[in-house]
Amino acid sequence: MNQLDALRQWTTVVADTGDFRQLAQFKPQDATTNPSLILKAVQKPEYRPLLDDAVRAHGKLAIDEVIDRLLVRFGTEILSLIPGRVSTEVDARLSFDTAATVARADRLVALYRAEGIDVEKRLLIKIAATWEGIEAARILEQKGIHTNLTLLFSFTQAVACGAAGVKLISPFVGRIYDWHKKSAGSAWDEAARSGANDPGVQSVRQIFDYYKRHGIATEVMGASFRNTGQIAALAGCDLLTISPDLLAELAASDAPLAHALDADAAKARDIAEVTLDEPAFRFALNDDAMATEKLAEGIRAFAVDAVKLEKLMQETR
């Protein structure tokens, strides 16, 4: 049994890509996208016609509406190849506007429904885990629209997401690892901070254990991996979203892979319940330099790529 098959014994495998032609090779249950992945995809010759078609058919609409139609086109293509759900992201520039996030999500949902997609079962609206984004997710979940809270770097964000009834969260393992490695500089010991001691892995484990201990239904999906060791250390997590390159590495390896995260064991642990209102959330997030920096950096990066995608689309008009 290769490592990818072994992982599937305990964890739902999700493909982190906009390159849907790769999906058949790895047979993931779900798939996730983001503006950066879509931008990367439409610059490839095999995917450029999707952008051209969106502009040709809807070019007279506002640019943000054309973008949404392109995102939904990618999403429906992905859904034709997988049995589960696709995550489609709301524009990161709306990350601090609850009402605008809800409105954009409603439009994406309407577009998917027009394509005949069962959105309650097959769509996750992806939103940055700011306070405003989490509040938008609360509203959407109450309407039966499921959400995936992304750019999640802290226990604080996870607690707030669980309290809001979010369907799924995506803690970013690799970016947490990156921050700690950069912060440590020459003192960083890669061997000592790998596997279960990786700071990104430890963050996901803390969230996973807390959710299971307190019966929080929100699914935990580790994301943003730098190597297969991080993935192996989280075997047993509800879901893991993995890039095609790392999926290929797992499929090519027959090294042993053990069950690392155990929901039943977590239920027996003594973990205090945490309650956060808005001021407490904002202070706790502010008090976590890594989470604050990485959240802001992630929103900026997604916003930059959204602008690049818009520019590419405008040049096509």
Amino acid at 77: E
Is 126 assigned a catalytic role? Answer: yes
Amino acid at 165: G
Angle between helix 35-42 and helix 63-79 axes, rounded to 10 deg: 80
Q: Is the torsion defined by CA of 114, 63, 97, 307 positive or negative?
A: positive
Q: Where is 206: in which H helix or E strand?
A: helix 199-213
Please give the structure tokens belonging to residue 174: 């690799």
Q: Which of 27, 44, 126, 167 is catalytic?
A: 126
Residue with tokens 């890039």: 243
Please give the structure tokens belonging to residue 233: 């250390």
Backbone φ, ψ for residue 151 (5° rounding): 50, 50
The Cα-based distances of 207 to 128, 134, 166, 275, 317 in angstroms read 17, 16, 14, 14, 45
Backbone φ, ψ for residue 143 (5° rounding): -90, 0
Structure-derived torsion over alpha carbons of residues 14, 253, 179, 299, reported in degrees to the nearest 10 = -20
Q: Which residues are catalytic?
A: 126
